[in-house]
Structure 1
Amino acid sequence: MSTPRTITAGHVADLTAVLRLGGLQDDPAGLIELISELERLKSAACAVQADASTHYDAARRQSEAAKGVPALRQGRGVASEIALARRESPHRGQTLLGLAKVLNNEMPHTRERLADGTLSEFRAILLVRETACLSAEHRAFVDEELCADPTALEGVGTRQLVARAKRIAYELDPASVVRRATNAESDRNVTVRPAPDTMTYLTGLLPVAQGVAVHAALGRDADALRAQGDARTRGQLMADLLVSRVTGVDLVHDAPTPVPVTVNLTMSDTALLGGHRPGEVGADGVVPEIVPAEIGRQLAARALTSGLTSWIRQLYVNHTGRLVGMTSKRRFFADGLAEFLSVRDLGICRTPFCDATIRHGDHVASAGEGGPTTADNGQGLCETCNHAKQAPDWHQQTLSDLRHAVETVTPSGHRYRSTVPPPVGWREPRWVKDRPGVFTLVA
């Protein structure tokens, strides 16, 4: 097959069709070769995506400059467009666009190793990240030193590759590496992400001295409690002590530390009375986590028996499974429409593929264009997505749908649809055939 001089979406679609519809050979050795070549193909595709991203960014900036858009606003929203096209979050889109620009402008050898499959996109991102503190001249030196010779990367693991980049960067400009380490303290934060089996990872990114001190204090006090006869493991005690000290709730003997819990109860749900539909647990600024009904009942029971103030909030769902209202009596959140939007959207930004926490209540049709401040014209967005839709030629509209659906049209003319997820515990009614001519409605 002749190689096209210009790569189009049609060429890639043809290749995708071959991959989807083609069968596998019986030769075991051939299957390993296939896996290897597919890995090279993935890397080569990432290189082309990087090239396409920089070309699109340049075209957008040129077009907006011709329209008189100020220089500081040119290219706004491009990263979000790339994220949508790649089915990634806006934050990931920023990372990928930054990678593309560095590969094309400052690290051509790294770009070539990505194109020939020697490097994966993940490893290329790590190289770009480790050289971010260097000048363009020094970055080019690291690029040539590590990636000019494709054979030099054979058998090199990711950790070894990153170590090489760090070593060369420090040798070239130790002052910039020190400044980077010093500035890293400004990135300290606390994050939460889901873990299997209704658990979560609460992660604190701290300066090394603070992190070591916190861990040492928790470990020391956990050892003291174990010496007094507490049956919990050292890890369990450290976790319970952390929760107790952060929330201000007293430590409970031989049991997980109880915390204030808000139980969301839909009007049609019988979970608290022994049903099996799940519930969710969340807090201000944290995406709610789905929990089995039994776990939800245990959390509620612990809160009630521990003397903590507990509230039940009612969520009203219509016959289509669309959330249409809720009571306002609660303990932890402010009342109002913004809270309703956050609950309806399950605390997750409505932009497709974005998993960020809702930060803004947004008008689908902007208030400046006469859009009403209503639930039907509202959606929960993260800060990045709310800013991205302010870029020129972005448009959104609410579609007629049983559930709340929003269509986003990007400056390139591509359309993306977002639909409100069903309320927790909701299942679409459907007819199930029991026997010939007999159907049962399952809800």
Structure 2
Amino acid sequence: MAYFYEKQVVRENEDRGVHIYQSERGAAAAIAINRRQSTNGACSYLRACRILLEDTPDLFDCFAHGHLTERQIKAITEPLEEVDANVRREFDAIFADHTDMFENLGVRAISDLVRKFTERFQSSEKAVKIEDEAAKRYVRFRKSKDCVMLSAKLPLAEGIALAKSIKKRAKAIFRMGNDPRTKQQLQADMLICSQLEGFPPKVPLFLDVKLIMTDKTLFASSHEPANLPGYGIIPAQYARELVAGAKVDLEDPFHLTLKDDELNRRIFTFPEIQRIYTAPGNQDLIAMDSKAREFPESLKEFIRIRDSICMTPYCDGVPEEIDHVVQRHLNGPTSVHNSSYRCRFCNLAKELPGWYEKVDYSIPHSIVINTGDGRTYRSLAPPATGIVREADPQANEQPRK
């Protein structure tokens, strides 16, 4: 395996005084040639091998038996590179007890799940990094063939809010059906039309951000990371400061220090907090129902937050459409249980002859999919908090006589 070849290269170069990183690059280049691949990413591949062999033996065993693909392993090890060996071993122990935790997940969903775990150990450091990156924000215009290319680096919360606002407004115009422009053209025009005349001293920015975090993370300095729909997992410390609009002291979470940086002097922000509850002792969001034929907007927002990824197993497509699991014309109810958030491709695929889906009400938002070839798959919404579903000890208690 690549790891053992790398060790051999390191030993051969130790006596010659070659730096460890130089030998790593040499081993990576040799392995890339043997694999008939570009050297781009070869060092990262070797680090993934080292993590598997040294720190995550249960993951390696699962990979060796063909239960995880190389792309899935890469998605797992990349976030684990950011933490130390003890944390990686702790994650491997969790995986040993929940070997099905990556079942039916695409590589992006797998990476988010592992990052949800690693963020617990990097909350304060990651919050500082996010603020540092915000200070490096920029907009660049580049002349291209017959057009101008625009690229930008924006602060996390403001960037998500801007993207959501433009997409929402463009989608509303597109649905009216009387505008010949595509969604992409509408979004580009929205960005251009959003420019204000002159150069005001402050830019008003209204945030519509759905931030999912536990009460312990918000009030009790827990390291359980939060989820920012449209972006993904963010550290607990940054989530607390995003809600408070100020620096939060970990030892005294109710002591706030107002931020006095250039970004806050330039932008007005108006955050709105929306609370969504889980059932006691549960990691899944509480259900809502509707008797309407179409999903009302409030229920749609709930479904978007609950599912967060395309509900078709292994799909990494961007979810865009909310629809019934059991179709409406087959008497499927308009309810949170009989709903799924999917990319357009998958939502159309489920209408093919022979494709059948049903809801398993015994498990929180579980969908059983029969693709028409005799095979069945199970789709499960990710837990709102944590990385695996833990059994509720209170639910297993016997009533007192």
TM-score (norm 1): 0.39
Look at both structures and tell me which one has the larger radius of gyration over its CA atoms: 1
| Bigger RCO of structures 1 and 2 (CA < 8 A, at least 6 apart) | 2
TM-score when normalising by structure 2: 0.43
